[in-house]
């Protein structure tokens, strides 16, 4: 190993640890604080001569933007972005300090280790290396570190695209989290999943109205009863399988790699080849609507006039209308439906020069790499950038141990990232950026 490669790995590990030690927790409803970690990002870039600007969307809600000039000003720029907020972590549930950034058993542990301060560390380490070397990439790269991704991005990417679109002017493509990670299938072959599609979001509030009264009396117009019936039907609804172009491309590849039957009418048997990741991938074969919150009443002997539930709905690209129609049919005409949050779905082609650069970067560091597209059940800040016409992908590579349940680490207790995977990933990322 060259000294240059070793230095990049060591700096990535150090920065990842330091980022985790900033408790940039996003509690939702506007309650977050990214200011201290934003100051760290600015200082880290400034130390090597890269100018960065903090954009505050509210007190202590911060975003950081920097630009690296490329060698060819005629080419459109690339947005390389990550978010610097994290979900809460209850220390009593963890085996280590969730904000300690400790190294144990070959992993860096802490909230954000996977989602997504490991990637922020890669970006910073590569940018610092290039600045010290005087390296100029082939195209302009806008570095964006967004706040508020974990609570809808209102104070983060949504704020930036609405109020400061000029910082992304001239950019045509974007790259961010949850893509480029490896999964080892049953026969030992290693697939790397590049995110080319995302489900849309429709969070709903269901409300049932009834007649208030004394809890000791018969009441056939009970709002709690009506809501419970609607929630039970929705939670147990069997959604039909709906396969987008990304899903078809993915499972055609999985079938080929594993010598399994490819049946375009039902991909569910192929999920077994993906190990623990089948839970996430199973959710990308259909729309979903999961009841997550219930609220009603104020006293044991009072029948309330209203009862409400919150539902986390996710729809596939091209199937939003079917999703909304089905919700109405399932809960019935007497339940009020209110939109809490709605966001678009995304789907782009798994082709072109940018994708080819990703594939080549993976194979250069891992000759056994097999690149495949996938549809993500969640969402990223690429959705906000898409409204500026910027095409986004998920590519923040990690070579993962075969036994690791990667998706369970997102927002989970004892979140951690494998150090060897991070080392390999930062070299993949640098190769990609140099050839993008």
- Which of the following CATH numbers is that of domain 198-343: 3.30.70.360, 3.30.450.150, 3.40.50.150, 1.10.15.40? 3.30.70.360
Under the banding of pLDDT at 50, 70 and 90, the label for residue 366 is very high
pLDDT at position 230: 98
pLDDT at 187: 92
pLDDT digits (tens, 9 = 90+) for 177-210: 999 999 999 899 999 999 999 999 999 999 999 9
Mean pLDDT of the 74-85 span: 98
Banded model confidence at residue 287, pLDDT cuts 50, 70, 90: very high
Residues in the chain: 436
pLDDT at 426: 98
- With contact defined as beta carbons under 8 Å apart, do 370 and 252 qualify? no
Backbone angles phi and psi of 153, in degrees to 5: 70, 15
Q: Tokens 């058993």, residue? A: 105
Do residues 45 and 51 make contact, with C-beta atoms less than 8 angstroms apart?
A: yes
pLDDT at 41: 98
CA 28, 30, 31, 35 torsion: positive or negative?
positive
| Structural tokens at position 148 | 């508020």
Mind giving me the DSSP string for 242-306?
---HHHHHHHHHHHHHHT----TT--GGGGGGGGGGHHHHHTTSS-EEEEEEEEE-SSTTEE-SE
What would the two tokens of residue 236 be?
Answer: 């147990």
Secondary structure class of 321 (helix, strand, coil): helix
User: How confident is the model at residue 87, as a pLDDT?
Assistant: 96
pLDDT value at 6 more than 90 = yes
Q: Which residue has tokens 């977050």?
A: 32
| pLDDT tens digits, one per residue of 216-270 | 999 999 999 999 999 999 999 999 999 999 999 999 999 999 999 999 999 999 9
d(CA 195, CA 374): 5
Reference 260, options 196, 182, 185; nearest CA is: 185
Q: What is the pLDDT of residue 117?
A: 98
Non-local (6+) Cβ contacts of 156 within 8 A are 57, 61, 63, 83, 85, 146, 147, 148, 149, 381, 384
Burial class (CB in 10 A: 0-12, 13-18, 19+), 371: buried
Q: Could you give the percent of the chain with pLDDT greater than 90?
A: 95
Rounded mean pLDDT of the chain?
Answer: 96
pLDDT of residue 134: 97
Question: What is the phi/psi pair of residue 74, to 5°?
Answer: -80, -15
Residue 328 has a pLDDT of: 98
How do beta strands 141-146 and 61-68 pair?
Answer: antiparallel
Domain locations in the chain?
3-177+356-368+378-434, 198-343
User: Rounded to an integer, what distance in angstroms lies between the CA atom of residue 414 and that of residue 411?
Assistant: 9
Confidence of residue 276 (pLDDT cuts 50, 70, 90): confident
Confidence of residue 407 (pLDDT cuts 50, 70, 90): confident
Residue 275 has pLDDT above 90, yes or no: no
C-alpha 60/C-alpha 63 separation (Å) is 10
Q: What is the mean pLDDT of residues 370-391?
A: 96
Q: Would the pLDDT of 120 be above 90?
A: yes
> Could you report how far apart the first and last alpha carbons of the chain are, in Å?
24
Q: How far apart are CA 210 and CA 225, in angstroms?
A: 9
Task: Give the other-Cβ count within 10 Å of 7's Cβ.
Answer: 13
Preceding peptide of 116 cis, ω within 30°: yes
Give pLDDT tens digits for 131-160. 999 999 999 999 999 999 998 899 999 999
Query: What is the pLDDT averaged over residues 34-63?
Result: 98
Q: What percent of the chain has pLDDT over 70?
A: 100
Answer for the pair 155, 387: CB distance below 8 angstroms, yes or no: no
Q: What are the E-state strand segments in 304-344?
A: 306-315, 336-343
Average pLDDT over residues 409-425: 96
- Count of alpha carbons within 13 angstroms of residue 52, beta-carbon side: 28
Q: Residue 27: is its pLDDT beyond 80?
A: yes
pTM: 0.93
What's the average model confidence in pLDDT over 256-285?
94
As a whole number of angstroms, the distance between CA 37 and CA 49 comes to: 19
CATH number for the domain whose boundaries are 3-177+356-368+378-434? 3.40.630.10
Picking from 36, 161, 125, 217, the residue whose alpha carbon sits closest to that of residue 423 is 125
Query: Above 80 in pLDDT, residue 1?
Result: no
Beta-carbon contacts of 172 under 8 Å, excluding residues fewer than 6 positions away, are 76, 77, 78, 389, 390, 391
Average pLDDT over residues 381-405: 96
């Amino acid at each position: 190993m060259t000294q240059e490669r070793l230095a990049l790995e060591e700096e990535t590990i150090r920065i990842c640890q330091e980022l985790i030690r900033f408790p940039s927790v996003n509690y939702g409803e506007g309650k977050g604080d990214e200011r201290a970690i934003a100051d760290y990002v600015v200082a880290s870039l400034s130390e090597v001569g890269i100018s960065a600007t903090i954009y505050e969307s509210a007190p202590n809600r911060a975003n950081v933007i920097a630009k690296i000039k490329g060698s060819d000003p005629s080419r459109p720029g690339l947005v390389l972005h990550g978010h610097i907020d994290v979900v809460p972590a209850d220390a009593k549930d963890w085996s280590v300090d969730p904000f300690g950034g400790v190294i144990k058993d070959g992993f860096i542990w802490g909230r954000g280790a996977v989602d997504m301060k490991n990637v922020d560390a890669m970006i910073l380490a590569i940018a610092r290396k290039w600045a010290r070397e005087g390296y100029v990439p082939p195209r302009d790269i806008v570095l964006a570190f967004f706040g508020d991704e974990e609570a809808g991005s209102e104070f983060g990417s949504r704020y930036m695209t609405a109020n400061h679109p000029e910082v992304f002017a001239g950019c045509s493509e974007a790259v961010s989290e949850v893509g480029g990670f490896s999964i080892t299938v049953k026969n030992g072959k290693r697939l790397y999943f590049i995110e080319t599609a995302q489900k849309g979001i429709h969070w709903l509030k269901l409300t049932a109205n009834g007649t208030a009264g004394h809890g000791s009396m018969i009441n056939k117009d009970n709002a709690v009863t009506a809501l419970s019936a609607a929630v039970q039907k929705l939670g147990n609804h069997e959604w039909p399988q709906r396969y987008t172009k990304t899903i078809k491309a993915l499972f055609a590849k999985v079938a080929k790699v594993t010598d399994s039957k490819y049946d375009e009418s039902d991909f569910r048997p192929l999920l077994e080849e993906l190990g623990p990741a089948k839970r996430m991938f199973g959710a990308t074969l259909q729309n979903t609507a999961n009841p997550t919150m219930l609220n009603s009443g104020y006293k044991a002997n009072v029948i309330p006039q209203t009862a409400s539930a919150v539902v986390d709905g996710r729809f596939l690209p091209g199937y939003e209308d079917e999703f909304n129609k089905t919700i109405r049919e399932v809960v019935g005409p007497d339940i009020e439906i209110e939109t809490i949050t709605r966001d678009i779905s995304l789907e782009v082609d798994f082709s072109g020069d940018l994708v080819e650069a990703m594939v080549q970067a993976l194979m250069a560091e891992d000759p056994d790499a097999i690149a495949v597209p996938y549809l993500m059940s969640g969402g990223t800040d690429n959705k906000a950038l898409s409204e500026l016409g910027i095409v986004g992908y998920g590519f923040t590579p990690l070579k993962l141990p075969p036994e690791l349940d990667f998706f369970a680490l997102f927002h989970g207790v004892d979140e951690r990232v494998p150090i060897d995977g991070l080392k390999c990933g930062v070299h993949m990322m640098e190769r990609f950026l140099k050839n993008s």
